């Protein structure tokens, strides 16, 4: 029996939440990200802003040049996490086999539910309607027999899309897309393929796995061979781990400048901490995941003797781990930050050496999270952590940068 996988992706998520919370912004180009005039990037933008050629990960100064009359907002991460959790709770009503892969995306495994829930397309329609009614947000759904194809399907229908691709349709569906839409095929891969005169999915599919491996390296060749056929190349993790909380982002184009990787890590650290706080969780291990341009992966983690108390702490550890696994020049296509050994904050904290200190720090972090939500503009401590540095030296003076990473 074919599996039935949904990939669900909220449309222009951060910007949509801003338009929802402030109806005066509806229909206007809304750009969420760093403050114009800083070195930061666009985190998310509304579809109105995309008409000006703005997209996530674009330098904010460039976005501002293209659309000076746009509405520029600093991310309110805690509000987005709250809305994300409301959406995920609705999705969980449809199936317990829910795997959240980022703040605004999830996979649902609906295999074998036809008799109970109805045809997949109808289920997707109900799911979209419920999310819109209960949260006001629009999302796109892709339905296919594996995660990879479902992800590409949801992307192809945006915004407010619903695209189902059966196994027989997979090749035709992919042939109708530009090669760059093959998820995971970045700029560098496209260049390399163009050198080999491969410019379409159809052309890519005509090569054997052996030849692709010899041309693109073992991991890259295996990936491309499967991707071109709409088979799952294993780009997404198999199962959600119950006792870990993580967020990751795949860059639209591979990154090799430390600044944008740091900004992504900062954004992810804040997402992870906000989820820990909102869920009343605590954790003592930080994990960093990197996927390089050639699809090879590395994961590294560090465990503390105390519970993590702030996103700064997670960020600092992530930077430390980055130093262990990144040479500063290899292009990176994905970064992930997570926490492992997650337990309920209500459980007794036997491992805590200084419980009073912990409570104090935690309360401060909760206050900072709430404050960030209210003030939106935050040169607090976060921005000062972003500096152009390698090694352990703190940056001199406050860096003016509120940038965040690309996901939604």
Rounded-to-integer distance, Cα 160 and Cα 128, Å: 8
Question: Peptide bond before 87: cis, by omega within 30 degrees of 0?
Answer: no
Residue 390: Cβ within 10 Å count: 11
Tokens found for residue 176 = 């109708």
Contact in structure between 144 and 157 (CB atoms under 8 Å)? no
191 has catalytic annotation: no
Report 86-115 residues binding Mg ion (CB under 5 A): 104
Quick check: helix, strand or coil at residue 30?
strand
| # of chain residues touching Mg ion (CB under 5 A) | 5
Give min distance, CB of 9 to Mg ion, in A: 4
Report 6-65 residues binding Mg ion (CB under 5 A): 9-10, 13
Give min distance, CB of 158 to Mg ion, in A: 8
Contact in structure between 159 and 47 (CB atoms under 8 Å)? yes
User: How distant is the alpha carbon of residue 209 from its chain centre?
Assistant: 30
Instruction: For residue 340, list its beta bridge partners.
Output: 244, 285
Task: State the binding string over 179-218 for Mg ion (x if CB under 5 A, else -).
Answer: ----------------------------------------
Nearest CB to Mg ion, comparing residues 5 and 213: 5
Nearest CB to Mg ion, comparing residues 14 and 315: 14
Which of 29, 338, 403, 408 binds Mg ion (CB under 5 A)? It is 408
Nearest CB to Mg ion, comparing residues 141 and 216: 141
Rounded-to-integer distance, Cα 89 and Cα 227, Å: 31
Instruction: State phi, psi for 6 to the nearest 5 degrees.
Output: -100, 135
- By the rule CB under 5 A, 248 interacts with Mg ion: no
Work out whether strand 71-73 and strand 343-344 pair parallel, antiparallel, or are unpaired: unpaired
Give min distance, CB of 105 to Mg ion, in A: 6
Contacts of 397 (CB under 8 A, 6+ apart): none
Give min distance, CB of 110 to Mg ion, in A: 20
Report how far apart, in Å, the C-alpha atoms of 391 and of each of 256, 313, 323, 396 are: 17, 16, 7, 14
Closest residue to Mg ion: CB criterion? 408
Report 160-179 residues binding Mg ion (CB under 5 A): none
Nearest CB to Mg ion, comparing residues 104 and 313: 104
Give min distance, CB of 251 to Mg ion, in A: 14
Tokens found for residue 198 = 């491969």
Nearest CB to Mg ion, comparing residues 83 and 342: 83
The active-site residue out of 105, 248, 313, 365 is 105
Could you give the residue numbers annotated as active site?
Answer: 105
Binding site for Mg ion (CB under 5 A): 9-10, 13, 104, 408
């Amino acid at each position: 029996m074919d599996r039935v996988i949904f990939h669900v992706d909220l449309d222009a998520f951060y910007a949509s939440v801003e338009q929802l919370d402030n109806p005066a912004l509806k229909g206007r180009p809304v750009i969420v990200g760093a403050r114009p005039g800083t070195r930061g990037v666009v985190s998310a933008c509304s579809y109105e802003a995309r008409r000006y050629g703005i997209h996530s990960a674009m330098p904010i100064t460039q976005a501002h040049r293209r659309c000076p009359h746009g509405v520029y907002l600093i991310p309110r991460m805690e509000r987005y996490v709250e809305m994300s959790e409301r959406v995920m709770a609705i999705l969980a009503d449809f199936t317990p086999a829910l795997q959240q892969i980022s703040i605004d995306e999830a996979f649902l495994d609906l295999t074998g539910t036809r008799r109970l829930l109805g045809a997949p397309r109808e289920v997707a329609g109900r799911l979209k309607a419920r999310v819109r009614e209960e949260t006001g947000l629009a999302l796109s759904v892709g339905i296919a027999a594996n995660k990879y194809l479902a992800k590409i399907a949801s992307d192809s229908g945006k915004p407010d899309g619903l695209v189902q691709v059966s196994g027989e349709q997979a090749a035709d569906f992919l042939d109708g897309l530009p090669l760059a839409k093959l998820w995971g095929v970045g700029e560098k891969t496209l260049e390399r393929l163009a050198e080999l005169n491969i410019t379409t999915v159809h052309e890519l599919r005509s090569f054997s796995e052996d030849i692709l491996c010899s041309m693109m390296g073992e991991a890259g060749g295996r990936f491309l061979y499967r991707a071109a056929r709409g088979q799952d190349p294993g780009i997404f993790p198999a199962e959600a781990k119950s006792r870990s909380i993580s967020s990751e982002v795949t860059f639209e184009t591979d990154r090799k400048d430390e600044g944008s990787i740091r900004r992504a890590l900062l954004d992810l650290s804040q997402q992870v901490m906000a989820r820990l706080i909102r869920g009343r969780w605590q954790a003592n291990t930080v994990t960093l995941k990197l996927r390089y341009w050639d699809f090879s992966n590395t994961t590294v983690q560090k465990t503390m003797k105390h519970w993590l108390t702030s996103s700064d702490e997670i960020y600092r550890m992530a930077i430390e781990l980055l130093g262990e696994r990144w040479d500063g020049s290899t292009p990176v296509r994905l970064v992930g930050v997570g926490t492992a050994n997650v337990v309920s904050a209500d459980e007794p904290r036997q491992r805590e050496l200084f419980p009073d200190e912990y409570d104090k720090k935690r309360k401060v972090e909760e206050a900072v999270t709430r404050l960030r939500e209210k003030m939106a503009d935050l040169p607090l401590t976060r921005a000062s952590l972003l500096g152009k540095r390698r090694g352990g030296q703190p940056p001199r003076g406050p860096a003016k940068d509120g940038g965040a990473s690309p996901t939604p």
